[in-house]
Amino acid sequence: MSVILRVRDLAVAYGHIEAVKGITFHLNAGEITALVGANGAGKSTTLLALSGLIKPVRGQILFEDEDISLLAPHQIVRRGIVQVAEGRAILTTLTVQENLALGAYTRKDKAGIASTLEEVFHLFPLLKERAGQFAGNLSGGEQQMLAIGRGLMAKPRLLLLDEPSMGLAPVLVQEIFRTLKEINRSGLSVFLVEQNVRQALKIAQHGYVIETGKIVLADSGKNLLIDPGVVEAYLGG
Ligand SMILES: Nc1ncnc2c1ncn2[C@@H]1O[C@H](COP(=O)(O)OP(=O)(O)OP(=O)(O)O)[C@@H](O)[C@H]1O
Ligand SMILES: [Mg+2]
């Protein structure tokens, strides 16, 4: 199993306050890796560092053996690390199809883009039905699907997601996790940040638990689901 991303002693601060306090972890290529933890634990901050939106105060981020920790966000996107925007970050006055087309802005291969669009429509048939409608008319869950679809249009090598299930009705939460599993089955590496610890660990091959800026547990998703500490703190005893 090859490692696609390796993070060593990563620390990220807001002013004088260190939100991420020297974390070390790795993502295996072709797997879903989950990062789970409570509010304020440092999950989004970790993702911001991976996307280049915040510069770390120390540590290394190696993507396919290249240190990307000081690269600009657009350079990181071009290497294939794509963060799914939050559902509400879609462009409401553009159509579903126009939003998807924007996701492919780094690509020039017209035929490739068309075939990715077909894959996205296959994953999310609803987006195909609504292709010509304004994105603003989609429900919250549908907008989240559109955001994931838009991320996929970039043909990423590593997909980053920040709480894709947040605020969704249970049936849509199931749908989102089912789709992520299907996306991963095609070989795409996924880094999934979630507060929905149970669902995230169910679909993740590996997981990390973060508490107040430090990784406190690392194991397979399966083992973490039955870890007494995880069960007590995150799965309702
Ligand atoms: N822009 C900011 N300025 C100052 N402090 C911040 C900023 N963003 C986050 N923090 C702080 O950094 C810490 C980690 O926040 P972060 O957003 O990474 O947590 P999280 O795990 O994503 O939480 P949640 O599950 O609520 O999204 C928190 O203490 C938070 O208050
Ligand atoms: Mg967050």
Run means of pLDDT, 10 residues per run, the chain, 237 residues: 96 97 98 97 97 97 96 96 82 95 93 97 96 94 93 97 91 93 96 96 98 98 97 90
Atom of ligand 1 nearest to the CA of 17: 5
- Is the Cβ atom of 85 under 6 angstroms away from ligand 1? no
Per residue in 127-166, is it b (16+ CB within 10 Å) or e — as a string? Answer: bbebeeeebeebeebbbbbbbbbbbbbbbbbbbbbbbbbe
Which pair of structure tokens corresponds to residue 82?
A: 């794509």
As a whole number of angstroms, the distance between CA 45 and CA 10 comes to 11
pLDDT at 140: 87
- Is the Cβ atom of 40 under 6 angstroms away from ligand 1? yes
pLDDT at 16: 94
| 8 Å CB contact between 61 and 49 | yes
Nearest CA to ligand 1 atom 2: 14
pLDDT at 87: 62
Tokens 């996929």 label which residue?
Answer: 152
Nearest CA to ligand 1 atom 17: 44
Tokens 């306090």 label which residue?
Answer: 21
pLDDT at 181: 97
- Is the Cβ atom of 16 under 6 angstroms away from ligand 1? no
Domain extents for the chain? Answer: 1-78+156-164+189-237, 81-155
Q: Was domain 1-78+156-164+189-237 assigned CATH 3.40.50.720? A: no
Find the 199 Cα to ligand 2 centroid distance in Å.
Answer: 17
Q: Which residues pair with 218 in a beta bridge?
A: 208
Atom of ligand 1 nearest to the CA of 48: 18
Residue in 40, 2, 42 with CA at minimum distance from that of residue 23:
42
